[in-house]
Amino acid sequence: MGPYRVLVVDDHPDTAEVLSVLFQMLGHQTRCALRGRDALQLARELDPELILLDITLPDITGYEVIRALRADPRRPDRYIVAVTGHGRPSDISRAVRAGFDEHITKPIDVGKVRNVLGSTDAHFAAWAARTRPTG
């Protein structure tokens, strides 16, 4: 599936740029935001199918961002991945409860990016099957 519109949200410019370039090299359109409020604005403009969202941001948390994104009825099928340096089981559980589809721990490498893309493909295939008209 894809290519996807991808929004990368990370307060470390180098991390955001590396992730953006990785997704571009794999054929996807990307944009970056370094702050949570900027991410919400870009999400409205870009309408991304896939969002990689850091939890720790300088203005609002990734948890606040995902709450706002999940409340937007225009894109209930977004695939949103928590990207964080915190990988304890309690961190993963909190991310899932907050509405993240997946949780990955930094550092992120090409293998993790490919896994995220595979999960995103599966997500959209399942979404299409659930929402396909019957008859």
Residue 116: CATH number of its domain: 3.40.50.2300
Could you tell me the pTM of the whole model?
A: 0.91
Q: What is the 3-state secondary structure (H, E, C) of the chain?
A: CCCCEEEEECCCHHHHHHHHHHHHHCCCEEEEECCHHHHHHHHHHHCCCEEEEECCCCCCCHHHHHHHHHCCCCCCCCEEEEEECCCCHHHHHHHHHHCCCEEEECCCCHHHHHHHHHHHHHHHHHHHHHHCCCC
What is the domain range of residue 12?
5-131
For 23-54, the pLDDT digits (tens) are 999 899 999 999 999 999 999 999 999 999 99
Q: How many domains does the chain have?
A: 1
- Among the listed ranges 37-46, 62-71, 115-124, which one has the minimum average pLDDT value? 115-124
Residue 135's pLDDT band, with cuts at 50, 70 and 90, is: low
